[in-house]
Amino acid sequence: MSDAHGAAGRALRQVAALIREFDRTGDRLPLDSAVGISREALRAAPPGGPVPGACRAALRSTLVMRWSAFHDRRDLDESIAEGRVLTAGPAPDEQDFRLLGAMLADRHALTRDPADLAAGIAALRRAAELPMHGGDNRPFILDTLGGLLAERGEATGDPADLAEAERLRRVALSLLTEDSPELPTVRNNLAATLRHAAELYRNPDQAREAVELLDAALTGTPPDSPRRPQALLNLATAWQTKAELTSRAADAEAMVAAHRAAHARTPRGHPLRVRTLTGLGVALRLAAAHTEDTGQLREAVALLTEAVRETPRGSRPLPHRLNSLGNALHLLGERTGEAALLDESVRVLRAAIAEPSPQEEGHFERVANLALALRERYHLTSDLETLREAARLARLALHTPRTARDSDIALANLGVILQTWSDRTGDADAASEAVDAAREVLARTPPGGRERAMRLNHLGNALSKRYKCGGDQADLAESVAVLTEAVERTAYGTPGHADHLHNLGLVQLTGARAAEDPALLNQAVTTLGRAVWASAPGAAHLANRLQSYASALRTLHEVTEDPAVLLAAEDAYRQVARITALPAAQRVRAAYSWGIAAGDAGRWEQALEGFELALTLLPFSITRRLNRSDQEHGLTSVQGLAADAAACAVQLGRLDHAVLLLEQGRGVLLGQTIAARAELERLRAAYPAAADRFTGLRELIEALDSTEGENSEGTDAEGRNADERHALAARWERLVGEIRALPGFGRFLAGPSTAEVRACAGQGPVVVVYASPYRSDALVLLPDRVLLVPLPEAGLPAVERQVGRLTAALAEAAAPDGERAAQEAVAAVLAWTWDHVTGPVLDALGLSAPPPDGAWPRVWWSPGGPLAALPLHAAGHHGDPTRTVLDLAVSSYTPTVRALAYARARAAGPPPAGRLLAVVVPDAPGTRRLGGVRREVRELSALLPTEVVAGARATFAGVLAALPTHPYVHFACHGVSEPDDPSRARLLVHDHQEHPLTVRHISRLELPDARLAVLSACETARGSERLADEAIHITSAFQIAGYPHAIGTLWPVHDAVAVRVTRSLYRGLRAEPHAGSVKLDAERAALALHHAVRECRTAFPGSPSLWAAHVHSGA
């Protein structure tokens, strides 16, 4: 036994000597030897007695030292295993529990295993209870125990753990003398606990104390100490917490200065370099909230980009750093209005929530930040798919179990996203979810301070959105109450004060409009005015408040008719419209409102300036970043803009300019497509490489458009599609800019010139008709001038009444007992239209009697707004040939003058070879059988060589495959218009339930040999009331596809009439009127239809609904 004791003693003395050598040299070899000797001694130690315990303690201590120096995970695990044996032994001491607790704390930092955390806390509590081993280790024990309790408190939200952690670390600090080498470390750790508590409880006093402690710790750290960079970084981080909680500019400046100092001490290669890059980048982003200067944000993006680049893929810090970079890009994109920056922000934040983010602290906040960036991209571009994804992410996050570490700020922001979704879509469930989220955050917010006011503001806004969805007065009343409290809790000049005033004013305005309460209206105007005056300089925030203030002033003017109020509204709108960093759509709305305010006051020059700016910006608000539905939605708010602008130009005597304004603001989507196709050949002739790039990119965009919405809603694919669309749109914008820089292509895709517009009148007058609140006119294009024909009785209200009367009559005409009265009503509408629209035009053109020699004059009508719903070609007092359009001229329609030029260009050249294609679907699944369709096709086949695709063969794919090889096509089938979504109007082919042949599909076709499309189906030329200026319908889609002549219908057509019109039409289209003719002359389409309609009128003189529906559009 004595030999064993002696051997163990020698071994332990040898271990002690090796440890001293390691302390002196820092070389690993002595430690490796010490570990090996300790293991051997433990194996050789006899069981029982003190020897095994002493050897095990030596092994444990050498493993702890080697882990601390070289971080080999195997040493950590083995030291914990040996420590567990020691603490379970007969006489464990303070050192055994202290070292076991310290090692468990280290392993928990690596693995986040709650079991290690709990065991570490238990071990350190026991160590604190035992007599100290050697010196007084209580500061270390209490400090380490406080750290673990803080970890657990932050994870669970247990305030008792957090309070005990702070208390223990304060005790640890009190036990140290001023000359203790551990003093900076313990100060730093107490400061960390205070900083975390400050973030959790939003307490700036705790953050202030953390700064003071760390400042003292830094003072005690020598300038040349290797710990100096870490001390600087700790102090900078505490300043950051304080600055976030106080929002004071001085604290923000101190934060940036502290981070710059830390960064300056970490050159390339320093182990803290990436952390100081990240810290300074985040600090600059936060500080940018106090200034409009984008320099700090650009520096932040550069620093954070470098930090991300230096962070290994798949490492734990990467999601955090990607998140910081994405946030900086988001704010810079919001500040500058650069969509590319927001695209990059979304890309980076998507990467931030990928693996290993879900397992990392802060994943909830990273998801919220991605959703916020998507919401901002929606605000800039109006892309609903982007907002839909943001709302989906918000709902997903809100219904995911959260931890105590998850930020209330993130939760509040997710609620704000749902508010935006509800505002855009009217989703009442989203509004309620937003209210619930806001209430939850408010309930967890301390009673006093700035945070409370922010949470009240969120709740007030959410309640306001829910009121708009459901109309519950209780929501409105509570919204006013909580927003009033938010205003009262914020001092004038603080960042939130103007925001809270603005939101309160908007709710007051909503209530005033609903109640028609002048006193409440005055209160709303005052509150919104205060919000403007309280606003710090800053484009986006000030613009929103100015626009709301102007809207309130407009409402007030409607009550008071005070011209000074109207002038103030005009000025506010003008200011907003001229802020270039704002989203284009917002500037369009502001400029349009500016024009209306000035126009209502009769200030024509100023009104025209506002309208012109709105029209100039309009294409930038409906770019290819948006899918077709969003483009259409964006245009609904500016219907009538072109007419209002033209009216102002006419008031100023600028007729040519009025025509160009109408061209600029009507048929915008149609014009974009036509312009791209019309100018391609000219580009290809001059710059074939640029043309190839242009074509290739356009095809990519169209291919993406054709797949969007197919089984992707609510999936990750939805987000990828939106990202790809935005990326392709950015490439498109760059390419168009490059092409416009080429010689001779400066106006590439721009609107037509005056000369180009007038050139379209060479074959006959083009009558551009509009109605505005300011005046209504026909602008008749002649080769040498524009002829003004005032239409004083065709004001907007009068036209809208006639459209309503016609719509009601057509519905009643289908009922046998109401048919006669309905036909009389239709005839009355036709007579009114002659008296007040077409008659004055034809009188001005000298067309007052039928042509005696059969040489029919041509007239092209280009109506906009509600006038587009009236059958101008059939207007008249039928029975008096001197007062009917049908008896005086051959009418055609064109959505715009540019569309007419496009049609004529497509019609030029010799007619291509090919037969007539007849698409016949008399009994599409789920529809009423069309009894006259087969007879219609028999009549057609008897007149011309015809290839018939009928029944089950007339599928979506079959029709699209047949169209390119047939210059002429005749559809005999059902047609369906969709007034609320006109691009979904469709022809019902056989498989229409799975593959509808919609306006969108037809418009994407490009058929160079196309000549004539006859659409013998219902409502194929009927557009949408809410997009009346856009002429989106089936007939115009065929024109876009390349058909220079298209014949459609304004309303449903009786089967027998369809047969009669078909027979007469194709007789007129045969090049030679005798049997055996195989030629079809599409250039006679307008004249042939004219005669066919006149024949139907003769057959059914008392039923104008039967013969007035057919129209010719195009060349």
What pLDDT, on a 0 to 100 scale, did the predictor assign at position 707? 61
* Sign of the torsion formed by the C-alpha atoms of 1032, 1034, 1040 and 1044: negative
CA of 473: how far to CAs of 108, 430, 459, 467, 506, in Å?
A: 53, 18, 15, 7, 15
What pLDDT, on a 0 to 100 scale, did the predictor assign at position 714? 53
CA distance 76 to 83: 10
Tell me which of 1.25.40.10, 3.50.50.60, 3.30.70.870, 3.40.140.10 is the CATH number of domain 407-520: 1.25.40.10
What pLDDT, on a 0 to 100 scale, did the predictor assign at position 115? 95
**367 and 393 Cβ atoms separated by less than 8 Å:** yes
CA distance 497 to 454: 10
The two structure tokens encoding residue 839: 């008659």
**878 and 884 Cβ atoms separated by less than 8 Å:** yes
What pLDDT, on a 0 to 100 scale, did the predictor assign at position 1? 44
Contacts of 576 (CB under 8 A, 6+ apart): 543, 546, 547, 550, 582, 586, 587, 590
**CATH fold of 899-1114, please?**
Rossmann fold (3.40.50)
The two structure tokens encoding residue 833: 């239209």
Which of 826, 875, 867 shows the shortest CA–CA distance to 847? 875
Which of 410, 418, 480 shows the shortest CA–CA distance to 444? 410
User: What tens digit of pLDDT does each residue of 205-220 get?
Assistant: 999 999 999 999 898 8
DSSP letter at 752 equals P
CA of 293: how far to CAs of 154, 286, 466, 771, in Å?
A: 36, 12, 36, 46
**935 and 989 Cβ atoms separated by less than 8 Å:** no
Contacts of 224 (CB under 8 A, 6+ apart): none
The two structure tokens encoding residue 223: 């300038």
What pLDDT, on a 0 to 100 scale, did the predictor assign at position 73? 94
Tally of CA atoms within 13 A in the half-sphere of 657 that contains its CB: 15
Q: Give the residue ranges of the chain where pLDDT is below 50.
A: 1, 709-712, 1074-1077
Q: What phi-psi label fits residue 478: left (phi over 0), alpha (psi between -120 and 50 degrees) or beta? A: alpha
Which of 295, 300, 291 shows the shortest CA–CA distance to 321? 300
What pLDDT, on a 0 to 100 scale, did the predictor assign at position 711? 46
CA of 285: how far to CAs of 35, 325, 372, in Å?
A: 49, 9, 16
Which of 623, 563, 554, 620 shows the shortest CA–CA distance to 593? 554
Contacts of 1013 (CB under 8 A, 6+ apart): 968, 969, 970, 971, 1035, 1038, 1043, 1045, 1046, 1047
Q: Helices 716-740 and 339-352 sit at what angle, rounded to 10 degrees?
A: 150
What pLDDT, on a 0 to 100 scale, did the predictor assign at position 134? 65
The SS3 call for residue 709 is: coil
Q: For the CA atoms of 272, 277, 278, 284, what is the dihedral angle to 10 degrees?
A: 140
Residue 791 dihedral angles phi and psi, to the nearest 5°: -125, 70
Which of 39, 30, 99 shows the shortest CA–CA distance to 64? 99
Is the bond preceding 92 in cis, omega lying within 30 degrees of 0? no
What residue ranges do the domains of the chain occupy? 407-520, 754-860+872-893, 899-1114
What pLDDT, on a 0 to 100 scale, did the predictor assign at position 1073? 52
